[in-house]
């Protein structure tokens, strides 16, 4: 499975949305898969950017676009197994109606992003990864 499969599934389920919202929904899907399934949904790295968690590979595909739809990504959502779809569906039920800024603000208040950005200013660029261990530990404790 790839981040593009997850993004395509989210967009097929919810329709067009802002690129920032998609990034946050992909992030939370990864976090909760690590907790509930004890495995990553995808191997691509998530980094602690100024606006919250971002998957750079996904960003490269939507760079310059404010809104994205299912046609932007080369993903194969039908390749996701039942557990992956169940995890993403649960994430979408909880976070899916929230707007992009609310989701970004939430990630800024949570330890995985804050720890990965330790020592950096609020707008300072960073390619610091948010580790799977940090995600699993934090969200698993909620």
pLDDT attached to residue 52: 94
- Please state, rounded to an integer, the average pLDDT across all residues of the chain: 95
pLDDT attached to residue 72: 85
How many distinct structural domains can be found in the chain?
1
pLDDT attached to residue 70: 84
User: Hey, CA dihedral for 101, 103, 107, 109, is it positive or negative?
Assistant: positive
User: Hey, CA dihedral for 132, 138, 141, 142, is it positive or negative?
Assistant: negative
> Is the pLDDT score of 71 beyond 90?
no
pLDDT attached to residue 8: 96
pLDDT attached to residue 68: 95
pLDDT attached to residue 130: 98
pLDDT attached to residue 53: 97
> Is the pLDDT score of 41 beyond 90?
yes
Look up the domain containing 62 and give its range: 3-140
pLDDT per position as a tens digit, 87-135? 999 999 999 999 999 999 999 999 999 999 999 988 899 999 999 999 9
pTM of the shown model: 0.96
């Amino acid at each position: 499975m790839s981040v593009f499969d997850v993004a395509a599934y989210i967009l097929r389920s919810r329709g067009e949305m802002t690129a920032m919202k998609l990034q946050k929904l992909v992030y939370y899907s990864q976090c909760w898969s690590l907790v509930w399934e004890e495995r990553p949904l995808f191997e691509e790295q998530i980094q602690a950017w100024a606006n919250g968690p971002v998957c750079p590979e996904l960003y490269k595909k939507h760079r310059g676009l404010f809104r994205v739809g299912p046609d932007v990504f080369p993903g194969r959502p039908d390749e996701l197994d039942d557990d992956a779809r169940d995890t993403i569906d649960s994430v979408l039920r909880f976070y899916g109606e929230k707007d992009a800024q609310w989701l970004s603000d939430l990630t800024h208040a949570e330890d995985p992003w804050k720890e990965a950005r330790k020592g950096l200013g609020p707008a300072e660029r960073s390619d610091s990864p948010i580790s799977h261990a940090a995600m699993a530990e934090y969200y698993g404790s909620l």
